[in-house]
Amino acid sequence: MVNLKKDNFIIAKKKFSSRLIVGTGKYKNMSQCAKAIKLSGAEIVTVAVRRVNISDRSKPILMDYIDPKKITYLPNTAGCFNSKEALRTLRLAREIGGWKLVKLEVLGDKKNLFPDMIETLKSTEILAKEGFKVMVYCNDDPLMAKRLENAGADAIMPLAAPIGSGLGIQNKINIQIIRKQTKLPLIIDAGLGQASDAAVAMELGCDGVLVNTAIAKAKKPFEMAQAFKNAVIAGRQSYRSGRIDKILMGNPSSPSKGII
């Protein structure tokens, strides 16, 4: 049996046991979000940096529902469309309480939400120099992934499909090429729609997956959170077990000797 206990997930020298990272957006309310996270078993959650509501201080605060001492907050630059905005957001995130492990996401188009890789690369270089541990959302492009790695990224996070699309992994070959070329944590970020998509990502050799919409907007988010948890474990175990070769014709499972 594959010993999953020894199979740690390490990002920027920090060990995690769950390979599922979940987003905290799009839930009906904070308590639903907190419960889904608990059921998913995730140890890392992405969070956004936004203005404090000055006029209504009674509004619930994320930190009251998800304890940053127990769950690793991964500040994300979602909603940033250039390097300047992304850098400003992450520098502020660091100031909130020393967060250095961050997720960089610089978008280039409001409709398809594809990343602007030129701005992303530029930001990665600057953030790495400033001492941030940068997990980088990127296109499923092996050349750009390599450049991000050279620029000092701590994790490569290619998309499966556009953010929130639920389409699943569209370019398995590219993901496999990126897997072969990098020893950095490879995490599928964005575009997954159902638990099996996460299993596929893990079977391709990814180190983890990041899911938000597929859980938060499922008809039953709590059940889907558990489904993703199980799919990530199953997919990882399957990957490490060494799959059989694909062949064109049939190969019987029962011995042909002794047929009556």
Partner 1 sequence: MKKIKKIKIRLNGNIKSIFVDYNLSDLINLHKIPLKKVAIELNGKIIDKKKISKIKLNNNDKIEIVHFIGGG
Locate 10 and state its tokens: 């390490």
Give the HSE-up count for residue 27: Cα atoms under 13 Å, Cβ half-sphere.
24
Q: Which of 22, 44, 189 is nearest to 114 (CA)?
A: 189
Locate 39 and state its tokens: 């059921």
Locate 236 and state its tokens: 């990882």
Please tell me whether residue 24 binds partner 1 under the rule CB under 8 A.
yes
- Binding span for partner 1 by CB under 8 A among 50-58, 125-133, 218-226, 234-242: 50-58
CB 174 within 8 A of CB 144: no
Least distance between partner 1 and beta carbon 88 (Å) = 8
Q: Considering the candidates 15, 84, 103, 180, report the single residue annotated as catalytic.
A: 103
Please tell me whether residue 96 binds partner 1 under the rule CB under 8 A.
yes
Least distance between partner 1 and beta carbon 221 (Å) = 13
Nearer to partner 1, 151 or 198 (CB): 198
CA dihedral for 74, 105, 52, 99, sign (positive or negative)? positive
- Which of 9, 11, 19, 27 lies at the binding interface for partner 1 (CB under 8 A)? 27
Q: Specify the residue for token string 């899911």.
A: 211
Q: How far apart are CA 119 and CA 84, in angstroms?
A: 9
Least distance between partner 1 and beta carbon 123 (Å) = 17
Contact string (CB under 8 A) for partner 1, positions 107-146, x = contact? ----------------------------------------
Q: How far apart are CA 140 and CA 174, in angstroms?
A: 6
Around Cβ 163, how many Cβ atoms within 10 Å?
A: 20
Tell which positions 209-248 bind partner 1, by CB under 8 A: 212-213
Nearer to partner 1, 84 or 220 (CB): 84
103 in catalytic set: yes
Nearer to partner 1, 31 or 241 (CB): 31
Nearer to partner 1, 91 or 146 (CB): 91
Strand 9-11 relative to strand 155-158, pairing? unpaired
Q: How far apart are CA 208 and CA 224, in angstroms?
A: 17
- Binding span for partner 1 by CB under 8 A among 91-99, 142-150, 229-237, 251-259: 91-99
- Binding span for partner 1 by CB under 8 A among 26-34, 116-124, 127-135, 175-183: 26-34
User: Rounded to whole angstroms, what are the CA distances from 7 to 17, 18, 240?
Assistant: 8, 10, 10
| Residues engaged in binding partner 1 (CB under 8 A) | 23-27, 30, 33, 46-52, 54-55, 57, 61-63, 73, 75-76, 78-79, 88, 91-97, 163-164, 190, 212-213
User: What residues are annotated to the active site?
Assistant: 103
